[in-house]
Amino acid sequence: MKSNRFILTFVSVLTLLILVLTACATPTTPPTTQAPAVPTNTQPPAPVIPTNTQPPPPTAVPTKMPTAAPVTIRYWHTHSDAEAAQLDKVIAAFEATNPGITIEPTRYAYSDFKTALLTAISSGDVPDVVRMDIVWVPEFANQGALVQLDGTLPDFETIISDVFPGPLATNKWNGHYYGLPLDTNTQVLLWNKSRFEAASIANPPATMDEFVQDACKLTDAANNQYGYAEGGTYFWAPAPIFYTMGGKVTDEGITTATGYINGPESVAVFTLLKDLNDRGCLSPNLLGGGIATDAGHAEGIYGMIIDGPWMVDIYKNNYPDFQVNFAPIPTGPNGTTSSVVGGEDVVILEGSKNQEAAMKWAAYLLSPDAQKMMAAVGQMPVLTTLIGDSSLPPYFAVFQEQLKTAQARVPHPRWSDMDNAINNAYQRILRGDQTVQVALDQAATEINALITGP
């Protein structure tokens, strides 16, 4: 009995020791990996600088030692495979011209990205630079998570003078800029040429009136064919038509939605869409659980959809024989076209210990070189100076033209909730639960509460 208990005690103590020791091992690893990192990083500058064929610096090196100390910039993004491979080339080019700065990229899936960022921010161990969805910037800025760039980023005014105003506006919150536009996109009309030919329509619609006529001409509900389809009722889907027809969500200063989301122009937009729906020219998939717009368009089920530049790559992989045809969004009642701005911004996180180097990296991402390199894999540049550049893919032209008049969604930290309010109004309109005016009046009340709320 006694020896039995002794063995038990011995084994349990041993187990505990193993656990404690292995548990201790993990915290000790970071210091050991960091410890050699410092010496190895401090040593190279001496040999690196002479090899850079810059004789004068050696004299300056001793005085500049504190600022020139080698740093690692952690860069988080959600690029695709092809984009991530291209990013490595951009990083190599940056590191070659900026000795002492190492960029350490980390890739996330878009769906996990917000959670990953929030976890990092709440733990205080943040990445230095992040490429994030443009609609997140006000939200994270409002949380105090982002560094204000106007007044801190060197040459800020010069950099922003060369970018499209729409993408730039997505970085503004409370009168300050918390990011720089990195890549941009917008939505244009995609029209299925064989369907148009079968319906004896020569060209894509140029005006909204033609758009409605064509949508219904292309519809053959008995054979499950629709003239027009939207991916859902979330704001991004009807946004190009909404902005083209003069719709507004709030006033310029984001003080009220009354008279904007429920104003006559916005009402006209949703009346048009409701009318298309009731006549059966709008596919019912947008209510949920139908055929996706990308596949449906290529299969000839949907004559027209509205989507972005990434469709080229999607079709290249999934429907190699399908010929994509782009056209500008048909013009609204006042003869102009518009669309919605999408894309990503680059931001620097509050809590980054290497803000100076982080700003260099962010600024480099907006250089014509870096922008052109990323354009080769479908990332549309934000620089106005690159319009018509011969190195850009030819299909960018229609998107760049559309971007000139495309509008940004409301830059507000509660945008996700505002989007939801409009989404729900659109659902109630299509279902016939409410008239267009009543549904949008309710959306206006909800958005006003979000503007004035805590």
Using CB under 8 A, list all residues that contact another protein. Answer: 5, 8-9, 11-13, 15-16, 19, 114-115, 118, 121-122, 139, 143-145, 224, 232-233, 283-285, 287-291, 350, 416-417, 420, 424, 427-428, 454
Q: Across 245-339, where does the E strand assignment appear?
A: 302-307, 326-327
Nearer to another protein, 14 or 48 (CB): 14
Q: Is the dihedral of CA 418, 423, 424, 428 positive or negative?
A: positive
How near is the Cβ of 142 to another protein at its closest, in Å?
Answer: 9
Nearer to another protein, 261 or 370 (CB): 261
Whole-number Cα distances in Å, 386 to 167, 264, 308, 392 = 15, 38, 19, 8
How near is the Cβ of 330 to another protein at its closest, in Å?
Answer: 26
How near is the Cβ of 282 to another protein at its closest, in Å?
Answer: 13
Nearer to another protein, 55 or 144 (CB): 144
Nearer to another protein, 21 or 96 (CB): 21
Q: Is the dihedral of CA 269, 271, 274, 279 positive or negative?
A: negative
For residue 366, give the nearest of 176, 185, 166, 131 by alpha carbon. Answer: 131
Q: Spell out the residues 6+ positions from residue 148 whose beta carbon is closer than 8 angstroms to its own.
A: 176, 177, 178
Taking a C-beta distance cutoff of 8 angstroms, is the pair 338, 123 a contact?
no
Nearer to another protein, 183 or 230 (CB): 230
Q: Across 19-85, where does the E strand assignment appear?
A: 71-77
How near is the Cβ of 231 to another protein at its closest, in Å?
Answer: 11
Nearer to another protein, 162 or 417 (CB): 417
How near is the Cβ of 431 to another protein at its closest, in Å?
Answer: 8
How near is the Cβ of 156 to another protein at its closest, in Å?
Answer: 23
Taking a C-beta distance cutoff of 8 angstroms, is the pair 123, 94 a contact?
no
Length of the chain: 454
Q: Spell out the residues 6+ positions from residue 440 whose beta carbon is closer than 8 angstroms to its own.
A: 261, 262, 266, 267, 270, 425
